[in-house]
Structure 1
Amino acid sequence: MTQHTNLKQFALSSFGVLALLVSNTSVAYEFEIDESTVSIYGYTKLDIIYDFDNDLGDTVDRSAPRLDGEEGSDGHFTMHARESRIGFGTATPVAGSTLKTTIEGDFFSSDGSTFRLRHAFGEWNNIIAGQTWTNFAGFISGTPLISFTGPTGRPAVERQTQLRYTVGNFSTSLEDPAAEGGVVDSPGAKSQLPDLILRYTDTSERFQYSVSGVARYLEFDTAGIESPSSKDTGIGWGVGLEVAFDVNDALTMRAGLTHGDGIGGYNHGNPQKAPAFENANGGLETIETTGGTLGASLAAGPGAFNIAYSKISADLDDNPNFSSNDNAYEAAWINYIWSPQETSRISYGIEANWNKRETVDGRKGDASRLQGMVMYSF
């Protein structure tokens, strides 16, 4: 496998270093059980982290940078292996087609030690059912990073429960409305309909692109919770665009743009994940959000240099209750990720990361991180 192919596999997988193993089955172990092909894949990953300012967490908490003027300690070191994961897959001939199943997990649970379910889905005759990547994301704008958090502003690279149908490059899905901020900021928040998502993706040429859209039914009803009660409904929507261009065998450029009103968490890294709120008049008011990311990867030596920048903002000015909330995040990364020439199962990396946040009332803060990794894939 060439280094350029390795680089593209990184970019088309997850928003962190999900490694080559997910999209390159030659890395997985395979064996036969009756008519089924069973594969086992995964990796162990050591993250070595130094935060020059305040502690940003095991994975970067975008709301963590200390605001200017606030007191706090600087310089925090940590190491962890929480991103390590394992997955199981099967492929079985069924009625003239192939039934595929996947179950995968890692240890990025809230307590840091419990096994966390990432994927659990089946696929047959172009139908996917279960929990996996939201259909809103196309992965094309994802620059390879060591940071588990990844660039903001692009279509959300998140996993949620869904029923999806794919024909060629086109896919449509019904997805869990609560998973990506479907809950209105109100004590009477409720979900009555699934989110509807459409996406078209083409990765067949040097220029690759993905266009996606989401429509959401938003609702709250405080009957039995507040007196007097109030209720209202609204429509949330969002669009995503991702592009990548292989300039030559060594250089790939990427970009992603996401915009919506009531889009919530479908805009990756949204400062206000709730898509709407109950205003002072007892009505539902949607939150408009815009974000984008730019990135580039350059193959060099046994690996590649990667650089990325992203920014996202949410319009919260109409609600005085949000004056101290974050309404914008900005971040930049530069790294070098490489593997020994004799194998792609071992990966090393070093990355510098800068993060900034801004609140509705204009306060700002930023923090920087240096992160290294050692990853062994199987």
Structure 2
Amino acid sequence: MDRHRLLGGAAAFALLGAFVTYAPHAQAQDTNAALEARIAQLEAELNSLKAEIRSARAEQQVQNQTLSDGIIRIEQRPAPVSVAEAPTSASARPAEGFRIGDHTIKLGGFIKADANISRYSDGDIPSGDLGRDFYLPSSIPVGGTSEGTATDFSARQTRFWLTSDGEVGGHKVGARIEMDFQALPGSGDHRTTNASSPALRHAFVTIDNWLIGQEWSNFQNLNVLPETADYLGPSEGMVLSRQVQVRYTRGPLSVSVENPETTLTPFGGGARIIADDNALPDITARYAHVRPWGEVQLAGLVRQLKYENPASAIDSSTYGWGLSASAKFKLGASDDIRLMLTGGEGIGRYVGLNLANDGVLDASGDIEAIGVLAGYAAYRHVWQPNWRSSFILSHQEIDNPEALTGLSVNRSASSARANLIWTPLTGVDVGAELMFGKRELQSGQSGDMNRLSLFAKYGF
């Protein structure tokens, strides 16, 4: 029976073929048109199906990535396990630092060795003075007798820090603690152990837009500081102050209230008075305008100057103000120009490492603010990817009321320097810098210093 069905099917197929072959011409045309329409419909459905498959694959990739990210986040918060049990996959660790709970902890710093070869025109800086390690304009000897060259080796600029970054209750929280050895020497000296005491540089916490603790003043712009052998650089021309503050930042604008302090010159001159009697904090505001060509920042400062001395029946206060403009302009792919100009009255301790006092007392014990104008210009040039130089000019001019301050106070300071820095390995810098500095008193008497600085630094 199967054979009969097969033969019957073959016969029917033959008859159908004969019918198609010998059908009238008009009927063949109708059949071809129907077949072409059907083929077009099938092609459209096939293209739609391909699009759906591509969309489904893309969605599956997103889901897989989301799942993978979730697994990584879970692996980065492991339960306490032994070292042998700890995950070793690179995807299970942060790119830098290590995890403690919800926070990423990072350790860093650098080790730096310096050699300063200095010659002074009017005497010598005492052994152990910070001016041996850094350029402190106020420490340049004036009115002494010229001595020979002095050479000092030091590792006191070595620095280390710890940072924390994470989320607490949906808020971004960070912290930083940073120490160095740039305070006065400790129990040792150049004869034996060369010990130096650790000193606190930074200690602050950030919560979203808030910063609380010790940090560089908001009146200062770190982004335009030139690269120099010692971190103080062209200090007479720059704003440089670290202190405890509360700062709020929103976009390019930041405002802060900061630790107050008043330094005064006694009537007629004499040893500096550090009053420590302020009732109001210093208030700052800074605006940053950053673009691909560089940046421009403007900062303002308003502060109270106050001094009380019951023994002398002095209870006086006045106000000071300051404005600072700074900029960095890119030149080509790697060179740049860096500028800062700062002026005001009663801001001496913020500029030039307190080269000028904030104010001076008159004969009645009232405070008169002292005006200052300071600035620097620096050009940075990259010779090769691992060779670079900075050329820097800096100056500060002080507007002393001579009848009150006398003639022994600082009137101006200036410096010029050029350096060459080589980076043979990642994190390693080796450099040399030539520097000339000059300090002048209100009397016109002056002294200068020439210094060759050599250094090697490894950052980690």
Query: Pick from 414, 423, 432: which aligns with 1:339?
Result: 423
Counterpart check, 1:74 vs 2:148: yes
Contact 2:179 2:200 in 1 (8 A): yes
TM-score (norm 1): 0.86
1:265-280 mapped onto 2 (5 Å cutoff): 265-272=349-356, 274-280=357-363
1:312-331 mapped onto 2 (5 Å cutoff): 312-331=396-415
Counterpart check, 1:91 vs 2:165: yes
1:1-378 mapped onto 2 (5 Å cutoff): 30-53=97-120, 54-55=124-125, 56-67=131-142, 70-111=144-185, 113-178=196-261, 182-185=262-265, 189=275, 190-223=277-310, 225-226=311-312, 229-272=313-356, 274-301=357-384, 302-340=386-424, 343-378=425-460
Distance 1:154 1:51 in 2: 21
Distance 2:251 2:342 in 1: 24
Distance 1:188 1:367 in 2: 28
Unaligned runs of 5+ in 2: 1-94, 126-130, 187-195, 267-272
Contact 2:238 2:374 in 1 (8 A): no
Distance 1:188 1:356 in 2: 25
Distance 1:155 1:124 in 2: 29
Look up the match of 1:20: none
Alignment deviations for residues 33-59 of structure 1 (CA, whole Å, 9 cap, x no partner) = 121100000010000111133445121
Distance 1:345 1:188 in 2: 40
Alignment deviations for residues 302-360 of structure 1 (CA, whole Å, 9 cap, x no partner) = 121111010002112434543112221100110011211xx321111110010000000
Alignment deviations for residues 72-126 of structure 1 (CA, whole Å, 9 cap, x no partner) = 4120111100000110001121122320000000001122511000000000110
Look up the match of 1:8: none
Contact 2:394 2:414 in 1 (8 A): yes
Distance 1:38 1:239 in 2: 37
Based on CA coordinates, which of the two structures has the bigger radius of gyration? Answer: 2
User: Which one scores higher on RCO, CA 8 angstroms, separation ≥ 6?
Assistant: 1
Superposed CA RMSD in Å reads: 1.9
Residues 188/353 of structure 1: CA separation in 2 closer, same or farther (3 Å cut)? closer
Distance 1:216 1:346 in 2: 41
Query: Which amino acid counterpart does residue 246 of structure 1 have in structure 2?
Result: K
Distance 1:356 1:155 in 2: 16
Contact 1:238 1:260 in 2 (8 A): yes
Contact 1:250 1:299 in 2 (8 A): yes
Partner of 1:63, secondary structure, is: helix
Distance 1:155 1:237 in 2: 16
Residues 92/250 of structure 1: CA separation in 2 closer, same or farther (3 Å cut)? closer
Partner of 2:340, secondary structure, is: strand
Distance 2:416 2:224 in 1: 15
* Count, aligned residues: 341
Alignment deviations for residues 149-202 of structure 1 (CA, whole Å, 9 cap, x no partner) = 211354523210000000001000000012xxx244466931100000000012
Partner of 1:78, secondary structure, is: strand
Contact 1:271 1:313 in 2 (8 A): no
Partner of 1:246, secondary structure, is: strand
Contact 1:47 1:372 in 2 (8 A): yes
Distance 1:155 1:332 in 2: 14
CA shift, 1:143, in A, is: 1.1
